[in-house]
Structure 1
Amino acid sequence: MSEPLLRGLAAGDPPSATGPVTGSADKVADVLIVGGGLVGGTLACALAEKGVSVVVIDGEDPEALLAAGYDGRCSAIALACQRLLATIGLWDLLGGESQPILDIRVVDGGSPLFLHYAQAEAQGPMGYMVENRLLRQAILTRLGRLPAATLLAPARMTALRRDLDGVSATLSDGQTVRARLVVGADGRRSQVRESAGIGIRTLGYGQTAIVLTVEHERPHRGCAVEHFLPAGPFAILPMPGNRSSLVWTERSDLVSGLLALPAERFQAELERRFGDHLGWVRPVGPRFSYPLTLQAANRYVDRRLALVGDAAHGMHPVAGQGMNYGLRDVAVLAERLVVAQRLGLDPGAPALLAEYEALRRPDNLLMLAITDALVRLFSNDIAPVALARRLGIGAVERMGPLKRLFMRHAMGTLKLGPPPPRLMRGVPL
C-alpha cells in the first residue's frame, strides 16, 4: 500500500503501514469511536477531515478488508446520503463502482396495479447501490490520508470508563485510549450501549432475510423492484452490469431448509419468486441470512457517550433505509462536533448530546414505525387487507403530488421540519 492505514496521534508515534498498532502508550483524541464499519468509519472521516482528532477501535483486520473480494453484500444509498459521502471525500474513492437507481417499481403479489417511481420525475438518480466491501475499503483509504485519524484494528475493547472530565478505554493488548466523547457505532449488540446500561426494545417478525447476488440475461436498466409476497418483500436491487442484489424475506422456520437445498432446487425456488422479466437468472457468490427484528435504544446519549447507527436503532429492510438513517445520525452529530471544536467547546457537553438526541431520535422512531407498519400490512395474504393495499398502491400511482412526496422521502430530500444537516445537502462543514 502506498499510504499507512494506521496513524498515531500522540507525539512520536510512528506510522505503521501494515498490521495493528501495538504497545502500551496512551492514545489521546477528542472523540473515540467504537466500531469502524460503514457508519462509524464515515463519522470518523467526517470529523478527521475537519481536524477533530479521532481514534477508531474496530475488531476487523484492515489488511483483510482491503484484500477482500466481492461477497454479495450491498447497501442502498439514498441521494442525500450520497451527497454526504461525496462531500467528505469518500464517494470518489469508489472509482465509479456504483449503480444508480433510476427507477423503483413496487408490485404486490400478482396484482396488475403497481407503483412506479421514474427517473424523469426524480430529475436524476434516486440513490445508488454500492458493495459494502468497496465502501469499507474507501473508508480505510480515506482514514489513512487524514492525520487527525487513528485506526486501531484489529482491536478489542475490554473496559470503558466515563467520568465528568472524559472517557478512557482499555484494549485487550493493554493500550489505553483517552478521549472527551465516546461514540458507539458497534452495531445491534453494542458493547458501548450495554456498558452504559441503556436498554433496548426489540420486536421480532418471525422473518429472516436471505441476501445474495444474481446475474441475469437482460439489463435491469437501473430499475429496483420491490415485490411483496405473503412471506415478506422480495427486493431486486440493480448492481453494475447484468447483476442484481436480492433481499429475499422468508418465514424464519423455512430459511434453513431453503439454504440447505441443492443448487438446482434452490435455483427453482429463486426463479419462482424472481420471475422472467430479466430472462434467465442464476446465483453468483455466497448466500447470507439475517433474522429480521426491530430494535430501538431507550436513549441515544449518556455521560460523554452517544450512539449512532444500529447501536441506536435497527429496522426491517422493507424500505431499504437502515444504512441511510445511520448516515443521518452521522450528518447531525458530525456537524455539532465540528462546530464545537471550532468554538473551543467540549465535544462531550450534555447540551450538545441532548441536541443530537432531540434531532435524531424522533426521526428514527418515525421511520421504525413506518417500516413496522409496512411489514404488517404487506406480509400477509388476508383477502380484505390485500385488496385494500393493492387499491392503495394504484391510487398513489395516480396521485402525482403524494407520489412525489413519497419519492422525495425515499431520496432523503424531503423538506419537512428543521433544515437537513449540511452534509446531506452537499455543503461542507
Structure 2
Amino acid sequence: MNNKRDLLILGGGLVGMTLALTAARKGISSHVVDRADPADLTAEGFDGRASAISTASWNLFTNIGLADRLEPHGCAIASIAVTDQMKPGGLDFTPEAHEGTLGRMFANRELRLALFEAASEEPLIDWHAKSEITARHRGEHGVSVTLADGDELHGSLMVAAEGRGSPTRDEAGIVIAKWSYSHRAIVAGLVHEIPHGNVAWEIFYPSGPFALLPMLDAEDGAHRSALVWTVDESDAAGTLKLSDRAFLAEVAKRMGPMFGEIRSVGPRSSFPLGFHHTAKIVDDRLALVGDAAHGIHPIAGQGLNLGLRDVGALVDVLAEGMRLGLEPGDAQLLSKYENWRGLDAFSVALATDGLTRIFGVPGKAASAVRRLGMSGIQRTPLLKNWFMDEARGVRGDLPELLRA
C-alpha cells in the first residue's frame, strides 16, 4: 500500500473534509485523519446545530459537485433582520429578486452526510476515521504522522484543520492572540406556530446576541428555527438545566410573538465564546485552515464561511503551483497562501469582535446611539449593499472556486 499523498489533512470536520474534496477536484490527493466516529456526527435528529452557508461558499459546494446532494436540505435566507432589544430603529437586509438569497441554512448533520458520502467515493482521498495521532513530523523532504495502530502516513504538506484547540498548531509553536468573552452560546432547535418567512433574526441584548435562524419545515410540516442564544458564563449552567417549559418561557420573552407559540425545543448544547487569531497561518510544510487559524464570535455567522475561503485559496495556490512543477509543500506557495488570506481573515475577525463589544454596552443611551446608527444605514442603500455583499462573501479577491 502506498501511504504517500500530496496532502496530510489533520481534522476531518466540515472544513477539513471540504478541503480534501476541493483538492481532489484539482487532482490533488490527500490523507484525512480524524479521531471522531462518523456515525456519531451524522446521527438522526435535529439538535439545532446548523451553519449559514454564504453565496460564495455555496458556489464552492456547487463547483465541487455537492450542490445537488445538498439543495433539498437547505433553507434559503431571504432577509436578515437586526434589532437592538426589539426596539424601533432596526436594520432589514433584503436583496433584490435578481440578486438571489443572502445564503442558506443547513443542519450540520446534512453538511457532514454530503461531505462524508462524497469523500467515501473519491479515490484521491484516503480517509482515516476514528484514528488517534501519536506523532507528527515535518522534514525537509516531506511530512508524516504516526497513528496509534502503528501506521505511518506521508505527504508533502501538512494541513491543520482540527479546530480551535489544534494540537498541530500548538506543537508547531505558532503564536496565537486570544481572549474569552466570558459568555457561552446555547444552541437548540425550536418548533413554532408561525412560519419564519426565511428571515434570519439577530436580536442584540446587553447580555449578548439572540439569533433565530430559519430552517426547513419538518416532514410533518412543523415550522423550525435554530436558536443561538448568548448568555453570561455564570448563567449558562442554570439556563441549560431549566425545564423545557421554563426554557421556552425565557426564549419567548426575548423574541416576542413573531413566531406565535413556541411548541417545543430540541436537545440543548453550549460552547464557550472566545476570539483567537494566529500570528501566521503557515510554517515549514504546514498550513492552517479554519478555526485552527482564526476563531471568531458567531455574531455574524461567518466562522465556517471564513474557513471555506481558506480552503478555496489554498487549493487555488496549490493547483497553480503544481501545474508549474512545484510540490504542495513549497515555501513559495505557502507564502502566497498566507499573503492572500491573512488580511481578509484578520479584518473579519476584528469586525466581529467590534460588533460584539459595541452591542454589549449596556444602558439606554448606548442603545439609542446604536439604533440611530442602524437607522442611518437603513436609509443608505450604498452602505446596505456593502454589508449584504460582505454577508454573502462576494467582496474582495475571491478564489476561483468560490465564484459563480
**If the TM-score is normalised by the length of the shorter chain, which range does it land in?**
over 0.9
Residues 86 and 203 in structure 2, CA contact (< 8 A), matched pair in contact too: no
Q: Does 1:124 find its partner at 2:100?
A: yes
Matched, 1:267 2:243: no
CA displacement at 1:95 relative to structure 2: 5.0
Using the TM superposition, name which of 59-68 and 166-175 deviates more. Answer: 59-68
- 2:124 maps to what in 1? 148
1:207 equivalent to 2:191? Answer no
SS at match of 2:114: helix
Among candidates 220, 224, 230, match of residue 243 of structure 1: 224
Asked if 1:34 is matched to 2:41, the reply is: no
Query: Do structure 1's residue 306 and structure 2's residue 284 form an aligned pair?
Result: no
**Hey, which bits of structure 1, 4+ residues long, moved more than 4 A?**
none
Do the aligned residues in 2 keep the contact of 1:49 with 1:148 (CA within 8 Å)?
no
Distance 1:87 1:371, change over 3 A: same
Structure 2 partner of 1:231: 207
The Cα offsets for residues 56-76 of structure 1, whole Å up to 9 and x where unpaired, read as: 001112344455433321000
Of residues 224-233 and 258-267 in structure 1, the stretch that sits farther from structure 2 once superposed is 258-267
The offset of 1:319, in angstroms, is: 1.0
Task: Name the residue aligned to 1:362.
Answer: 343
After superposition, what is the alpha-carbon deviation per residue over 1:93-140, rounded to whole angstroms, capped at 9, x for unaligned?
A: 225101000011111114211110114267211100011111111111
Q: Partner of 2:220 in structure 1? A: none
In structure 2, the residue matched to 1:217 is 193
TM-score if structure 2 supplies the norm length?
A: 0.96
Q: Any conservation in 1 of the 2:187–2:269 contact (CA below 8 Å)?
A: yes
Distance 2:280 2:49 in 1: 30
SS at match of 2:266: strand
Asked if the contact 1:34–1:40 (Cα under 8 Å) also holds between the matched residues in 2, the reply is yes
1:350 aligns with 2:328: no
Please say which of residues 122-131 and 29-38 is displaced more in the overlay. 122-131
Amino acid aligned to 1:364: A
**Separation (CA, whole Å) in 2 of partners of 1:290 and 1:65:** 17
| Aligned mates of 1:189, 1:336 — CA distance in 2 | 26
The number of equivalent residue pairs is 399
Instruction: Write the distance in 1 (CA, Å) between the matches of 2:355 and 2:235.
Output: 22
1:340 and 2:321 correspond? yes
Q: Gapped runs of 5+ residues in structure 2?
A: 218-222
Is the CA contact 1:340–1:347 (under 8 Å) kept in the aligned structure 2?
yes
Residue-by-residue CA offset, 1:301-353 (whole Å, 9 max, x unaligned): 11000000000000001111001000000010011112223332111111110
CA contact (8 A) 1:122 1:407 kept: no
Q: Which stretch has the larger CA shift, 112-121 or 212-221?
A: 112-121
What whole-Å deviation, never above 9, does each CA across 1:137-176 have from its counterpart, x for those lacking one? 1111111221111100110111101111000100011000
Partner of 1:115 in structure 2?
A: 91
Mean CA deviation greater in 60-69 or 76-85: 60-69
What corresponds to 1:161 in structure 2?
137
Counterparts of 1:92 and 1:36 in 2: how far apart (Å)?
22
Distance 2:322 2:267 in 1: 44
Identity of aligned residues (%): 43
Query: Could you tell me the TM-score, scaled by structure 1's length?
Result: 0.90
The reply on whether 1:401 has 2:382 as its aligned counterpart is yes
1:410 maps to which residue?
391
Measure, in 2, the Cα distance between the counterparts of 1:216 and 1:69: 17
What letter corresponds to residue 155 of structure 2 in structure 1?
Answer: A
CA RMSD of aligned residues (A): 1.4
The separation in 2 between residues aligned to 1:350 and 1:294, in whole angstroms, is: 28
Moved more, 296-305 or 378-387: 378-387
The answer to whether residue 398 in structure 2 is matched with residue 420 in structure 1 is yes
Verify the 8 A CA contact 2:143 2:154 in the aligned structure 1: yes
Counterpart of 1:174 in structure 2 is 150
Name the counterpart of 1:183. Answer: 159
